[in-house]
Structure 1
Amino acid sequence: MKKTILITGTSSGLGKTTAHLFAHQGWNVVATMRRPEEERELVQLSNVLVTRLDVQDHVSITTAIEAAIARFGRIDALVNNAGFGLFGLFEATPPEKVAEQFNVNVFGVMDVTRAILPHFRQNKGGLILNIGSGAGVFTLPMLSLYCASKFALEGFTEALSYELASQNIVVKMIEPGGVTSTKFEQRSGAEAVQNAAIPDYDRFVAHTNAVFAGLREVCQATEEDVAKVIYQAATDGTDRLRYVATEDIKPMVQARRETSEDEYIAFMRDRFGTKA
């Protein structure tokens, strides 16, 4: 029997690319998004169900899972991909945007996961793939809230993996860095424009923006590259917890995980010039 995977946030970017890859590999795909009526490509594929799921709408989560089971009989895997990144100074970010960052990136993942777990337990197994970020391993200035949400997701995913192993449910974390072709950065930029400017930070912001520009120049990974890592994680038959999905973040992941605290902090402060 074909396996079935449910993916959140498939209207564009990594989610859409991942949906195409799994469909091409013969999986049944439940491609969920907030506005499925606008989708034109995935609806053309016979093994893809395009349906509405907004991670901030509990009813839509339940309805999407029910529709998936009705169409394909069962769900074997879940990819929690829906998310966005706030870019800008913490002090300049309105509280309602802070709440939205966590509602989507953390609580949305939790709500979708909670909703599907009874089905996985009934099936005596399942797979959950959470899409994290290098910003959930190391921190970056101007991304404090996004980092906070992804650090929370890292902790949740690891702890949950211990709980669900008792139910034959495997939990994994995918950690991508910069991706050249995604719309993620476009939304982050749009979010930053909405933030109030604070002149005291001007020098720091200019320096940080220059550092990010340099990082973007060496970023060579594509959505397709990350989707392949997601597919590997879904099919390698292991209980491996974490997958670093792009080459660009490996030096910082190594600095965070394989050097001393003092060395890591010195490395980051030197790179971002955070001393007054």
Structure 2
Amino acid sequence: MKTVLITGSSSGIGRASVLKFSREGWNVIATMRSPEKEFELQKSAHILVTALDVNKPETIDTAIQAGLKKFGSIDAVVNNAGAAVFGVFENATQEQVTNLFNTNVFGPMHVLRALLPHFRKQRSGTVINITSTGGRITFPTCSLYHATKFALEGFTEALAYELIPFGIRTKIIEPGSTDTKFIGAAEGTPGDNKEYEEFINIGLQNWIKYDTMTSTPEEIAATIFAAAIDNTDQLRYIAGKDAELYIGKLQNNENQNYVDYMRARFIPEYLNKTPIES
């Protein structure tokens, strides 16, 4: 049986991925910050629930060692743990900026720094980093979130070169909007610069208006599993109808045409243009 380590497994995409891999016959190291709150996953002999906080490297080493002790080896890692801050950049605190980069960028780096020696030693392994549609395209009021996801995309794409000599495959999953607690748990930027108030309201209203193509966590988990067993050199996997729409606009147009499309779709009021509905 192969074994996968998944971060951020307490809910949403992470939990759905634990269940998907388990159903497909894999051992799963399901990691989360508060494993004492998890009771259902603990019932499976093929799922090890253990503590891991991507911002605390010592917990990463402990989780890896626990997984190796129970299952003998680790064949794949899914860097799923993440966070979000929404709002305009000027209203964000430096603490929010630092914390978001720590979780979304440095967190996966910590996990890989600890796990890659094992993959190199066995001359195999699959790295799966969960970025976002927001790692390829951008929306209003999400500048900090996009900064972290673009960084993770670039890091992962370049890392893939470095790991080829050791038989390690590297995959990027780009989910669109997903029906999880992720958005509800996101922070807002607390600044009260009133000059941005109208812009924020317009951006959010249009986001809600077009947020009609939400995927389920199980659908995203299916894409993650497909990437894990895909022995090709494919790097990116788009997950979700909205992801296909927006990334498709980016891929099928000159860059400025894509930028014009997104602006006309989400902030047409500032452009004196008719909103783009499709």
- Tell me which interval the TM-score lies in, with the shorter structure as reference length: over 0.9
Cα displacement (A) at 1:272: 2.3
Equivalence for 2:174: 175
Deviations 1:62-94 (A, max 9, x none): 111111101100000000000011111111111
Aligned-pair identity (%): 45
SS in 2 for 1:166: helix
User: What CA distance in whole angstroms lies between the structure 2 residues aligned with 1:261 and 1:248?
Assistant: 19
Equivalence for 1:150: 149
Equivalence for 2:274: none
User: What CA distance in whole angstroms lies between the structure 2 residues aligned with 1:34 and 1:254?
Assistant: 35
Gaps of at least 5 residues in structure 2 are 272-278
Equivalence for 2:276: none
Q: 4+ residue runs of structure 1 moved beyond 3 angstroms?
A: none
More displaced stretch, 153-162 vs 244-253: 244-253
User: What CA distance in whole angstroms lies between the structure 1 residues aligned with 2:18 and 2:255?
Assistant: 39
User: What CA distance in whole angstroms lies between the structure 1 residues aligned with 2:233 and 2:29?
Assistant: 23
Query: Counterparts in 2 of 1:57-72, with a 5 A limit?
Result: 57-72=56-71
User: What CA distance in whole angstroms lies between the structure 2 residues aligned with 1:119 and 1:89?
Assistant: 41
Cα displacement (A) at 1:235: 1.1
Name the amino acid aligned to 2:87.
G
Gaps of at least 5 residues in structure 1 are none
User: What CA distance in whole angstroms lies between the structure 2 residues aligned with 1:54 and 1:85?
Assistant: 16
Equivalence for 1:116: 115
Cα displacement (A) at 1:220: 3.5
Equivalence for 1:233: 227
Cα displacement (A) at 1:257: 2.2
Q: Is the 8 A contact 2:207 2:266 kept in 1?
A: no
Q: How many residue pairs end up in the alignment?
A: 270
Compute the TM-score of the two structures, normalised by the length of structure 2.
Answer: 0.94
Compute the TM-score of the two structures, normalised by the length of structure 1.
Answer: 0.95
Deviations 1:28-51 (A, max 9, x none): 000000111111111011100001
Deviations 1:95-154 (A, max 9, x none): 001001000000000110111011001111100000010000001111101100000011
User: What CA distance in whole angstroms lies between the structure 2 residues aligned with 1:273 and 1:267?
Assistant: 10
Q: CA RMSD in A?
A: 1.2
SS in 1 for 2:5: strand
Equivalence for 1:184: 182
User: What CA distance in whole angstroms lies between the structure 1 residues aligned with 2:119 and 2:207?
Assistant: 41
